[in-house]
Every structure is written in structure tokens, then in C-alpha cells.
Amino acid sequence: MSGEREVNDQSHRTMRASLLERAADRWQLGPKPGMPPVAMPDLPPAPPVAPPVAAPVATAPARKMPPARIRPVDPARIDREMLAEAGMLVPGGPITALAEEFRLVKRQLLTAAADVEKRDADAARMILVCSAQPGDGKTFCAINLALSLAAERDLQILLVDADFAKPDILDRLGLPAGQGLLDALGDPAIDVEALVIPTDVPQLSLLPAGKRTHADTELLRSDHAHDVLKRLLTADPDRIILFDSPPALAASPAAVLASLVGQTVLVVRADRSSESDLREAVALLDGCEEIQLLLNATTYRAEGARFGYYGQDAE
């Protein structure tokens, strides 16, 4: 396990700490169970501090606000029983060993994100969950990470199904798939933000993969893809976008996605991933400067899921 990054310059941070820096700082200090909740994410932001562009974050009178957020009235209901059956985190459920493990992963990611932010503020808010081969646990880890991150105060998590050939996210959460990222990438007339699905898990929303096309890699590489991602980032300044990726060695969109995000979590299945696969995957994903390895379970049992986590900079 390579270590956590120590953050030394506390005074500098407190002067003008960004969203990610604040989140990372909080984790450096550890969670504070006794602290009263600060602002609820859906309440209007505190007026004087928020930058002018970030003002219309409130949801209450959403219809009258500038068109930053377009939301259906009812949030989609995530099926907790399905989550429990699959051995995943259950929002509002007990603090399990799995929950603790994902809290550690989250802490690493937020700390690294605060670092990435110094060179690229947009990229710092985008994280790709990838693996070398199919079936290594990308979707399992992406959903658990999203749920864990959504429990952070201040953050809004958008989980994007970017495994276009095998979109699983909505299905695993007990929700029907609909229009999504590919549709918005393929048609500039579609406002991607209108396809975002708010859920009944506070601070968690979803973006489906959308209608399959053979041009997914090309669409991701296009200039319009940058506009689409920018739209998702600016629609909510508190938003972190987590992408569930296709496997790096089996599908070309993974490498393109890696070049767009600030960090890639490479899920390694302890009992199966070979070193040569990992090396090849890291080489393919080298458009991303921060690749972190996440060691997934050797035995898949709801009671016994174990994770190891260690960071590694891409060579």
C-alpha cells in the first residue's frame, strides 16, 4: 500500500479551500460524528460566499431558475433489497466492514482529487472506474463508491454508466434504462443534463449509457464530448462524476475516458488479474495521470468481501 498524501499547508487551505480540498481535509481529520450537519445540499447556497455562477443550485423553485437543472418531479427509487442481495452497500444501512473499506477508498480518492485540482479543476471532479478484463468488479465498485461518496456532506455524485456495450448500472439498482450519455454525445440538440436521473438516495444521481452505437469511441473523442462533460460539471459545482467503464483490454472507449478524467481506479481481481494484463491496462489508460489500483475480493461472498487499496502513479 503506498501511502496517503499528507497535506501540510493547513493555513493555505483554510484561506480559500475548494470543494475537493475541503472534502479531502475533512478526511485527513477523520469523520466527525458529533458535528451538526452543515448546509443540506439541496438548500439554497449561502449567499455571500458562493461564486456568482454557482448561485442557482437550489432545487425548491427549480422551474423558475435558469436552466441549469432540469429534474423530473419524483426521484427514482433505488432498490435497497437488490443492493443487499448483491452484497453491496445499502444507503442508510448499518456500518459494515464493506462500508468501512469503501470509506478508505473514498478518502484516498478525495485526497488525490484535491491534488489533481491544482492542475485541472474540471478533471479533478471526474473519476473513472475501470479494470483490465470483464467481470473484475467495476460496476460493483463503482456503485459502492458512488453510494459512499454520496454520504459526504457537500458533494453531489453523478454515477455515469459509460460501459456502453454492457450497461449494468441502472439494472443493478432496479431501475429501467433510458436515454443517456451516448444519445447526448450523438445529438447536440439533446441537453445531457435533462437525462440525469435524480434518485431517492440523497446526493446521488445517475446518467444511463444511452442507445448503443458502434461509434462510441469516436463520439467520446469528439469536441462535443468536452462540451457535454462541461455541461455536466457546470450544472452543479458540487458534483463529482464517477464513470463505470468498459474493461480496458476489451473495449476502446476505456482509454478515451481515461484521458478525460482526473483519476482512474483500476479494479484488480485478486484471484484472477494477471500482472501482464495489469501492465497492459495501465499502458492503455496512460492518458490519465493518476491511476489507483483497487484490489477486489478473492472470494465473492456478501459477508466476506475484502478490499485492499493502494495508489500508484501511471508510468
Ligand X SMILES: Nc1ncnc2c1ncn2[C@@H]1O[C@H](COP(=O)(O)OP(=O)(O)OP(=O)(O)O)[C@@H](O)[C@H]1O
**Residue 62 binding partner per list Mg ion, ligand X, none, with a CB distance cut-off of 5 to 8 Å that depends on partner kind:** none
Q: Are 306 and 298 in contact (CB under 8 A)?
A: yes
Measured distance CA(125)–CA(203) in Å, rounded: 15
Residue (56 or 247) nearer to ligand X, CB? 247
Q: Which is nearer to ligand X, 91 or 198 (CB)?
A: 91
Nearest to 146 by CA among 104, 102, 178, 180: 102
Scan residues 194-223 and list those touching ligand X (CB under 6 A).
Answer: none
Task: Locate 230 and state its grid cell.
Answer: 462541461
**Exactly one of 139, 179, 263, 273 binds Mg ion (CB under 5 A); which one?**
139
Confirm or reject binding of residue 68 to ligand X (CB under 6 A).
no
Question: Does residue 253 belong to the site contacting ligand X (CB under 6 A)?
Answer: no
Interior/surface letters 202-222, b for 16+ CB within 10 angstroms, e for the rest: bbbbbbbbbeeeeebbebbbb
Of the ranges 31-39, 192-200, 217-225, 296-304, which one interacts with ligand X (CB under 6 A)? 296-304
Q: What span, in angstroms and rounded, lies between the C-alpha atoms of 3 and 205?
A: 31
Q: Is 69 in the site for ligand X (CB under 6 A)?
A: no
Q: Which is nearer to ligand X, 229 or 248 (CB)?
A: 248
Residue closest to Mg ion, measured at CB: 139
Residue 137 binds which one of Mg ion, ligand X, none, with CB within 5 to 8 A depending on kind? Answer: ligand X
Contact between 298 and 80 (Cβ < 8 Å): no
In the region spanning residues 147 to 166, those forming contacts with ligand X, defined by CB under 6 A, are: 163, 166
Query: CB within 8 A of 134, min separation 6: which ones?
Result: 166, 247, 250
**Minimum gap (Å) between residue 11 Cβ and ligand X:** 40
Q: Does 297 bind ligand X (CB under 6 A)?
A: yes
Q: Are 82 and 174 in contact (CB under 8 A)?
A: yes
**Rg of the chain, C-alpha, whole Å:** 18
Q: Does 243 bind ligand X (CB under 6 A)?
A: no
Interface with Mg ion, residue 199, by CB under 5 A? no
- Which of ligand X, Mg ion, none is residue 236 near (CB under 5 to 8 Å by kind)? none
Tell the smallest beta-carbon distance from residue 305 to ligand X (Å): 4
Please tell me whether residue 218 binds Mg ion under the rule CB under 5 A: no
Q: Report the nearest approach of ligand X to the CB of residue 264 (Å).
A: 14
Query: Which residue from 131, 148, 203, 264 is in contact with ligand X, where contact means CB under 6 A?
Result: 131
305 binds, among Mg ion, ligand X, none (CB under 5 to 8 A by kind): ligand X
Query: How many residues can be counted in the chain?
Result: 315
The residues, any chain, with a CB within 8 Å of residue 33's CB and separated by 6 or more, are none
Q: Please report the DSSP string for 98-164 in residue order.
A: HHHHHHHHHHHHHHHHHHHTTT-TTGGGEEEEEESSTTSSHHHHHHHHHHHHHTSTT-EEEEEE--T
Say whether residue 168 binds Mg ion (CB under 5 A).
yes
Measure the CA–CA gap between 15 and 2, rounded to whole angstroms. 29
Q: Which does 135 bind (CB under 5 to 8 A by kind): ligand X, Mg ion, none?
A: ligand X
Contact residues for ligand X, defined by CB under 6 A: 86-87, 131, 134-140, 163, 166, 168, 247, 296-297, 300, 305
Contact residues for Mg ion, defined by CB under 5 A: 138-139, 168
